[in-house]
């Protein structure tokens, strides 16, 4: 079974992001970039499937500029067998990413596609679902457990009320939630070996996809700074403030 | 531009994608497996044995050692080492790196000079984190004066019989083997040999040296050899040629220490700047007082110079032309800068820095072990003057 796993290059989760002075975007100048944490979980799950003898090949794919090859190398160091980059510059919205991934799915014919449920930059939470619709494949989103059994996969989903278990016919799409697994460290020998693993580059045109935009980013601004709190004398004052100032109780 | 640990590192054109990937993984490892437990290990005066196999797993223990012993050598260069030393220093507890990586001084004599069967018996276990090796040079009678060491090994048939003592031995309480400098011949450097002594041999004993100024997490020991019998096949290098083996270690040990000391200085800068930006006195931030601004700039200035010096020495090593005199003086440069940064950071943090449980307080206490261990500042200057044929 071949597993395709998508990875995205995003700002490292440790970085405190800042908006550009003109409010046009987040300032990415000299900012540390990393593999999106949910994508890292996706890679780990794919590699575990391979180690368990379920998957025979793990292919990592990323849509982005040349620099996203760094994140593909990370995926290769974590255990993916080869990588595919779809080279696109500038901002690409989820629908276009999904279309490009569909192109890769058609080339690779994987039995399972694993994606992060969302990326920590855009927080869109759309790509996996859109890919499911475009490819007409079953989807199990927000996975906290994935079990492949013959020609089906059982996915435990983290939903608002608790857990929901769905059984999907393969080929299928899974998006990962935070508790699915704890990604390993890429060891130094594996980092060095990853340099030699194959990495193919395609353009959007190669996949027959036009990079279009449907959404315009109007403005990026930092959240308002929180006002300092106040200490109240007694419960009566608190209730009064909650009623009349904050107006959160009647 | 800012002054955190990473931003305060000057540009280095030698750094490639694989170096960055290595730093990322190492940092994740330190943040998850080491940093949360530092206080606990410091108080316990030792590291948990489970840390070594984990460090082996990510390739930290085996880095730079031959693949046949479970190491990774292909494609590894000095810049990978620099990164390891920086990330160890960033933990802010020197005892962790000193103890975890003590095979870095204990194992190379074995790998470079011991018999093949001895290497095979020792190296794979050490690099897998399943056994431990230390280096035994310093004696209660003296440290820097290696040529006059007094522990003797007299030959009896196929064995050496070792008598004497070693002290300040890092990792000594845990070591399964000690690469030990012993006197097999006459006085002076020409009578010194290196011998691999197993610590389960009858007549071997040890006591802990836990009451130290710094490096608490590192198990330091005094070792006693009471007529310890060691097979002659455990000789490391030729008999009476031990001095060469000992010298062989020095450049890489000093480079590692220099790289760590600069990084400790950078930790001091980082934590002092965070504090100076938050703390308000006389109606403004500490960072707005000129006297504090100058302290911060002076720290950065000295760190920059040290980084450039480290890079120059590493580049020479990478070309196969290490300069022992420049490396010796680099160690002095780095310990002076570490001392300066620890002092200035402590002044900026004030009482907050004086309380236990922060990196500055610990680094301040660990200046001396760096300025003395691995070749004291005085010995380094003297060595350089001799090398320069003054």
How many Å lie between the alpha carbon of B381 and the closest alpha carbon of chain A?
36
Least confident of A95-109, A221-235, B16-30, B327-341: A221-235
User: Which chain B residue has the Cα nearest residue A75?
Assistant: B21
CB-CB contact of B366 with B339 (8 Å): no
Q: Which residues neighbour A78 within 8 Å (Cβ) at sequence distance 6 or greater?
A: A40, A43, A44, A47, A183, A184, A186, A190
Per CB-CB distance under 8 Å, the chain B contacts of A195 are 17-18, 75
The overall longest dimension of chain B from CA atoms, in Å, is: 80
Which chain B residues are closer than 8 Å to A185 by Cβ?
A: 25, 28-29, 57-58
- B367 near B265, Cβ under 8 Å? no
Task: For chain A, give the mean pLDDT.
Answer: 95
Residue A174 forms beta bridges with which residues? A114, A140
* Confidence band of A227 (pLDDT split at 50, 70, 90): confident
Please state, in angstroms and rounded to a whole number, the distance separating the CA atoms of residues B84 and A152: 45
How far away is chain B from the Cα of A185, in angstroms, using its nearest Cα?
6
Helix/strand/coil for B240: coil
Residues of B in contact with A67 (CB under 8 A): none
CA atoms within 13 A on the CB side of B29: 24
CB A87 within 8 A of CB A201: yes
Q: How far apart are CA B374 and CA B200, in angstroms?
A: 27
State the nearest Cα–Cα gap between B75 and chain A, in angstroms.
Answer: 7
Closest chain B CA to residue A67:
B17
User: Which of A189, A190, A193, A199 is the mutation pick for testing B, counting most B CBs within 10 A?
Assistant: A189
pLDDT of residue A225: 84
Question: Please, what sign has the CA dihedral across residues A97, A100, A102, A107?
Answer: negative
Handedness of CA A170, A173, A179, A183 (dihedral sign): positive
**Cα dihedral sign, B324-B328-B329-B331:** positive
CB contact at 8 A, B348 and B287: no
Q: Do A188 and B24 touch (CB under 8 A)?
A: no
What is the band of A29 on the pLDDT scale with cuts at 50, 70, 90?
confident
Tokens 């004030």 belong to B350
| CB-neighbour burial class of residue B321 (10 A; exposed 0-12, middle 13-18, buried 19+) | exposed
CA distance A21 to A1: 49
A40 vs B357, more confident: A40
Q: What is the pLDDT along chain B (390 residues), one digit of tens a residue?
A: 589 999 999 999 999 999 999 999 999 999 999 999 999 999 999 999 999 999 999 999 999 999 999 999 999 999 999 999 999 999 999 999 999 999 999 999 999 999 999 999 999 999 999 999 999 999 998 877 888 999 999 999 999 999 999 999 999 999 999 999 999 999 999 999 999 999 999 999 999 998 999 999 999 999 999 999 999 999 999 999 999 999 888 899 999 999 999 999 999 999 999 999 999 999 999 999 999 999 999 999 999 999 999 999 999 999 999 999 999 999 999 999 999 999 999 999 999 999 988 999 999 999 999 999 989 999 999 999 999 999
> What share of chain A in percent tops pLDDT 90?
85
Please answer yes or no on whether B18 and A191 come within 8 Å at the CB atom.
yes
- Measured CB to CB, residues of chain B less than 8 Å from chain A are 6, 17-18, 20-22, 24-25, 28-29, 57-60, 62-63, 72, 74-76, 80
Residue A191 main-chain phi, psi, to 5 deg: -65, -40
Phi-psi label, residue B298: left if phi above 0, alpha if psi -120 to 50, beta otherwise: alpha
Of A77, A185, A195, Cβ closest to residue B28: A185
Nearest to A191 among B25, B29, B57 (CB): B25
Chain A residues in contact with B75 by the CB 8 A cut-off are 192, 195
What CA–CA distance (Å, rounded) separates B196 from B237?
A: 10
Band (pLDDT 50/70/90 cuts) for residue A250 is: confident
Beta carbons within 10 angstroms of residue B306's beta carbon: 24
Q: Do A192 and B18 touch (CB under 8 A)?
A: yes
What are the backbone dihedrals phi and psi of residue A158, each rounded to the nearest 5 degrees, phi first?
Answer: -90, 110
List the single residue in B21, B63, B75 with the smallest CB-CB distance to A77.
B21
Q: Report residue A8 as tokens.
A: 């995205």
For an interface test with B, the pick among A15, A185, A193, A199 (most B C-beta atoms closer than 10 Å) comes out as: A185
| pLDDT on residue B1 | 52
Query: Cβ of B7: how many Cβ atoms within 10 Å?
Result: 13
Residue numbers in A near B62 (CB within 8 A): 188-189
Q: Quick one: pLDDT band at residue A223, thresholds 50, 70, 90?
A: confident
Kindly identify which residue of chain A lies nearest to residue B67, measuring between CA atoms.
A189
Instruction: Kindly identify which residue of chain A lies nearest to residue B60, measuring between CA atoms.
Output: A188
Partners of residue B80 in chain A, C-beta under 8 Å: 188
DSSP A227: P
**What is this structure's pTM?**
0.89
């Amino acid at each position: 079974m071949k597993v395709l796993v998508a990875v995205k290059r995003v700002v490292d989760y440790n970085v405190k992001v800042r908006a550009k002075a003109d409010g046009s975007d987040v300032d990415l100048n000299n900012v540390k970039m990393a593999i999106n944490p949910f994508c890292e979980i996706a890679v780990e799950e794919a590699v575990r499937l391979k180690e368990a003898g379920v998957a025979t090949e793990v292919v990592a794919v990323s849509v982005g500029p040349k620099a996203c090859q760094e994140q593909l190398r990370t995926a290769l160091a974590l255990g993916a067998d080869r990588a595919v980059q779809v080279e696109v510059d500038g901002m690409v919205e989820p629908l276009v990413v999904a279309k490009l991934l569909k192109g890769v799915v058609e080339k690779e014919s994987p039995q399972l596609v694993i994606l992060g449920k969302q990326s920590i930059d855009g927080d869109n939470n759309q790509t996996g679902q859109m890919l499911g619709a475009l490819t007409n494949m079953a989807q199990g989103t927000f996975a906290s457990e994935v079990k492949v059994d013959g020609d089906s996969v059982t996915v435990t989903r983290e939903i608002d009320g608790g857990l929901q278990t769905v059984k999907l016919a393969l080929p299928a799409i899974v998006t990962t939630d935070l508790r699915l697994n704890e990604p390993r460290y890429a060891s130094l020998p594996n980092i060095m070996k990853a340099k030699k693993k194959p990495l193919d580059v395609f353009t959007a045109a190669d996949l027959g996809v036009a990079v279009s935009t449907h959404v315009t980013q109007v403005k990026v601004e930092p959240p308002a700074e929180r006002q300092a709190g106040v200490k109240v004398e007694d419960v009566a004052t608190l209730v009064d403030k909650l009623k009349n100032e904050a107006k959160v109780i009647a | 531009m800012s002054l955190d640990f990473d931003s305060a590192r000057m540009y280095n054109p030698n750094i490639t994608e694989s170096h960055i990937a290595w730093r990322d993984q190492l940092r994740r490892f330190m943040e998850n497996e080491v940093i949360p437990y530092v206080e606990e290990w410091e108080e316990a005066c030792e590291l948990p044995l489970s840390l070594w196999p984990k460090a082996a797993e990510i390739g930290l223990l085996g880095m730079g050692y031959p693949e046949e012993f479970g190491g990774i050598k292909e494609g590894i260069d000095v810049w990978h080492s620099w990164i390891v030393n920086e990330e160890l220093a960033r933990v802010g507890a020197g005892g962790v790196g000193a103890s975890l990586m003590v095979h870095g001084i204990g194992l190379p004599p074995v790998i470079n000079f011991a018999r093949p069967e001895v290497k095979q018996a020792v190296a794979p276990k050490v690099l897998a984190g399943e056994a431990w090796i230390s280096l035994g040079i310093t004696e209660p009678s003296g440290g820097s004066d290696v040529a006059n060491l007094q522990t003797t090994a007299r030959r009896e048939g196929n064995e050496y019989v070792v008598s004497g003592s070693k002290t300040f031995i890092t990792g000594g309480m845990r070591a399964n083997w000690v690469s030990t400098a012993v006197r097999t011949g006459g006085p002076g450097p020409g009578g010194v040999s290196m011998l691999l002594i197993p610590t389960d041999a009858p007549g071997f004993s040890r006591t802990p040296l836990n009451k130290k100024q710094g490096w608490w997490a590192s198990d330091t020991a005094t070792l006693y050899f009471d007529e310890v019998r060691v097979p002659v096949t455990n000789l490391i290098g030729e008999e009476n040629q031990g001095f060469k083996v000992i010298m062989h270690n020095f450049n890489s040990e000093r480079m590692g220490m220099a790289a760590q000391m600069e990084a400790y200085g950078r930790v001091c800068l980082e934590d002092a700047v965070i504090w100076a930006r938050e703390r308000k006195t006389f109606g403004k931030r500490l960072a707005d007082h000129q006297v504090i601004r100058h302290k911060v700039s002076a720290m950065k200035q000295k760190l920059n110079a040290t980084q450039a010096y480290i890079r120059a020495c590493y580049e020479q090593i990478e070309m196969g032309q290490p300069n022992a005199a420049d490396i010796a003086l680099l160690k002095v440069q780095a310990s002076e800068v570490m001392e300066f940064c620890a002092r200035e950071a402590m002044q900026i943090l004030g009482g907050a820095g004086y309380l236990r449980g922060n990196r500055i307080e610990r680094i301040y206490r660990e200046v001396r072990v760096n300025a003395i261990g691995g070749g004291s500042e005085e010995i380094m200057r003297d060595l350089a003057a001799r090398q320069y044929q003054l």
